Structure 1
Amino acid sequence: MPVLERDPWRLQYFEHVPCPEHVLIPVDDPDCWLLFPDRRWIYDKLKVAETQGLACGPHGVPPDSYPVFSKPIVNLKGMGLGSRAIGSAAEMDHSYQPGHMWMPLLEGDHVSTDCAVREGLICWIRHATGVAAADGMFRHWTIHAAPFPELEEKLSGWVKRHMRGYTGMMNFETIGGTIIEAHLRFADQWCDLYGQGWVQAVVGLYDKGHWEFADGQRRNGFSVPLFAVHGRRYSHPPPGLQAELRAMPEVQSLQITFHEDKPPEDHPMPPGGFRLAVINATDLGAAMAARRRLAAAYPPDLILTPA
């Protein structure tokens, strides 16, 4: 299997793709840290902010003005955990935390971007945006077929300046065109929505250093989660129902995103809810319909986003 995938519900995207044994493709940041020791600086969010000329510093160094955004400098599991806005010097003193940093409180669109990089140059790129719900949850994500020209120009320039010689996948999180996180991997939640042959192209990039992917028939894609309340132990839906949902028109995949034999509190989940599943589709209405049918397999008082 070509990808070092830790989540069994995402093996479906990679397990049938041929790959040479020597090729290792990470999709989790701890694996990226181990595989690319000379690129570990990219997980230092203070360093990433400095490369863009942003006002920033570690806790203990006071900002010149407020509000600011505070977050861990390095956090390979749950990159956003512990993040918050801070509105004053008094609040900063009260919120002091070793290993945290501050930077400007940004405004604008929050975009997740996957790109293929060959010898320090972006050769393929695609963007996703999410509709946020409460407490870290999302209603759905849209994987856009259309380009984002201004953002692509900024990211291409940054990669050219700072990733010289790198070949592989990258993911960026940006707000208003400013990079807030960078990763030496792609987002594996919706990679099936990039089109047939995309995973094979990724294998070729890591194996031969070439990017070959026919990307002329892009469609918008949608990734829709189903959340339930915390504090309960859940069972997987019946296999027959899973097969029925996967066979629905426009539905590309169904991920049941939890382990039945693992305590609920040991799953990394947003504070607002426990994610039961993710449905990927090329039509938002179809994804929502599949989510409603899946939600009906659970007691309605436990479901947070059934509609």
Structure 2
Amino acid sequence: MPICEADPWRLQYFRHVQTSVNIPTEDSDAWLWYPAHRWVYDKLEVALSQNLDAGPHGTTPPRYPVFSKPIINLKGMGVGSRVLRSAAEYEEFYAPGHMWVTLLEGRHVSSDVAVVNGEPRWWRHVTGKPAGEGTFDYWWVHSETDHNIEGNCGQWIRRHLAGYTGMLNLETIGGFIIEAHLRFADQWPDLYGDGWIDALVRLYEKGDWLFDDRNRHDGYSVVLFGPNDRGYMHPPQALIDEINRVDGVTSVQITFHEDWAPERHSMPPGGFRLAIVNCFDLARGQSARDRIKEFFFT
């Protein structure tokens, strides 16, 4: 198989790829294929590796508030997460297989890293504009570097991922890693620039990183959500093709299976994710989202 993608709306990025190596986009695949480094999916171990106060449920936090979450959850990493503000709340929400950790503050960032034998070779950082109850208005793929994340997390990678070659996705708050994934974020690879997919394939085939990233630009991944309590049909392909021709728009994803019942989809409480428009011009991406919204709600 080439790039192993579970979501059909993202296959558009990888159709030209011809390779005999397995390149994961799903945590379940990465966990199977990289046994020497699969420990990074243990969020308790990741916290302890950064000298954060943390422990499994059943041990006593030294102070409150703390953040509680599953230790390992490969599907829906944050399901069941919550802030615990007192010993009484800790007792109320005790759950086997969960952990507590220092409640972190600061900027929440998702970072993709190309790693060669434990050495970071390329970074890209993304922040989201929340829209409430787990939904987002858009994600911003930043062109600038983040020296704090690249410095602190780069040291962590060198210390803990010796021998690993491949993509790594890190979620951080205030520069501390809260989740690590042995894969890249497959929602916006078209925003990383021409030739990035080819560099990705070379990384897994040849074990090196060769990508000309001097002409990077800010990108945006604009999201459309609808109510959770109804079913939806896909827009006509003619509408998608028309939006894809808009200058500054790089791709459109219709992010659900129309032949599935709505409850089969994993969605945030605040809405049902219908579509994503990737673009280099935020205003045009938002206008394109409005065009798709008209189809669904008029």
TM-score, normalisation: structure 1: 0.96
What code does the residue aligned with 1:89 have? Answer: A
Q: Which of 35, 38, 41 is 1:37 aligned to? A: 35
Q: Match of 1:178? A: 176
Secondary structure at 1:219 match in 2: coil
Supply the distance in 2 between the matched residues of 1:98 and 1:60 (Cα, whole angstroms): 8
Q: Match of 2:273? A: 275
Kindly indicate whether residue 14 of structure 2 is the aligned counterpart of residue 14 of structure 1: yes
Supply the distance in 1 between the matched residues of 2:297 and 2:208 (Cα, whole angstroms): 49
Counterpart mapping for 1:126-145 below 5 A: 126-145=124-143
Task: Report the CA distance between 1:270 and its aligned residue.
Answer: 0.6
Kindly indicate whether residue 295 of structure 2 is the aligned counterpart of residue 289 of structure 1: no
Kindly indicate whether residue 261 of structure 2 is the aligned counterpart of residue 249 of structure 1: no
* Alignment deviations for residues 223-264 of structure 1 (CA, whole Å, 9 cap, x no partner): 011000012110001111111111111000000000011111
Secondary structure at 2:177 match in 1: strand
Counterpart mapping for 1:93-172 below 5 A: 93-172=91-170
Supply the distance in 2 between the matched residues of 1:298 and 1:209 (Cα, whole angstroms): 44
Q: Match of 2:198? A: 200
Task: Report the CA distance between 1:38 and its aligned residue.
Answer: 1.6
Counterpart mapping for 1:201-216 below 5 A: 201-216=199-214
Secondary structure at 1:133 match in 2: strand
* Alignment deviations for residues 93-143 of structure 1 (CA, whole Å, 9 cap, x no partner): 011000000001111000000000001000001100001111100111000
Task: Report the CA distance between 1:209 and its aligned residue.
Answer: 0.6
Supply the distance in 1 between the matched residues of 2:184 and 2:231 (Cα, whole angstroms): 30
Unmatched 5+ residue regions in structure 2? none
Q: Match of 2:188? A: 190
Q: Report if the CA contact (8 A) 2:5-2:26 is conserved.
A: yes
Supply the distance in 1 between the matched residues of 2:2 and 2:248 (Cα, whole angstroms): 26
Secondary structure at 1:297 match in 2: helix
* Alignment deviations for residues 188-208 of structure 1 (CA, whole Å, 9 cap, x no partner): 001110001101101000000
Supply the distance in 1 between the matched residues of 2:157 and 2:103 (Cα, whole angstroms): 23
Supply the distance in 2 between the matched residues of 1:34 and 1:293 (Cα, whole angstroms): 41
Q: Which of 203, 217, 233 is 1:219 aligned to? A: 217
Task: Report the CA distance between 1:2 and its aligned residue.
Answer: 2.4
* Alignment deviations for residues 79-101 of structure 1 (CA, whole Å, 9 cap, x no partner): 01110000000110011000000
Counterpart mapping for 1:230-241 below 5 A: 230-241=228-239
Q: After alignment, is 275-284 or 291-300 more displaced?
A: 291-300
Supply the distance in 1 between the matched residues of 2:68 and 2:175 (Cα, whole angstroms): 19
Q: Report if the CA contact (8 A) 2:14-2:197 is conserved.
A: yes
Q: Report if the CA contact (8 A) 2:3-2:17 is conserved.
A: no
Supply the distance in 1 between the matched residues of 2:242 and 2:114 (Cα, whole angstroms): 34
- Work out the number of aligned pairs and report it: 298
Supply the distance in 1 between the matched residues of 2:38 and 2:209 (Cα, whole angstroms): 24
Supply the distance in 2 between the matched residues of 1:63 and 1:261 (Cα, whole angstroms): 46
Supply the distance in 1 between the matched residues of 2:67 and 2:147 (Cα, whole angstroms): 27
TM-score, normalisation: structure 2: 0.99
Supply the distance in 2 between the matched residues of 1:78 and 1:15 (Cα, whole angstroms): 26
Q: Match of 1:53? A: 51
Q: Match of 1:84? A: 82
Supply the distance in 2 between the matched residues of 1:192 and 1:56 (Cα, whole angstroms): 37
RMSD (Å) for aligned C-alpha atoms: 0.8
Q: Match of 1:304? A: none
Secondary structure at 2:126 match in 1: strand
Supply the distance in 1 between the matched residues of 2:185 and 2:66 (Cα, whole angstroms): 27
Supply the distance in 1 between the matched residues of 2:137 and 2:105 (Cα, whole angstroms): 20
**Overall identity of the aligned pairs, in %:** 56
Unmatched 5+ residue regions in structure 1? 301-307
What code does the residue aligned with 2:136 have? Answer: F
* Alignment deviations for residues 30-63 of structure 1 (CA, whole Å, 9 cap, x no partner): 0011111121211000000000000000111010
Secondary structure at 2:145 match in 1: coil
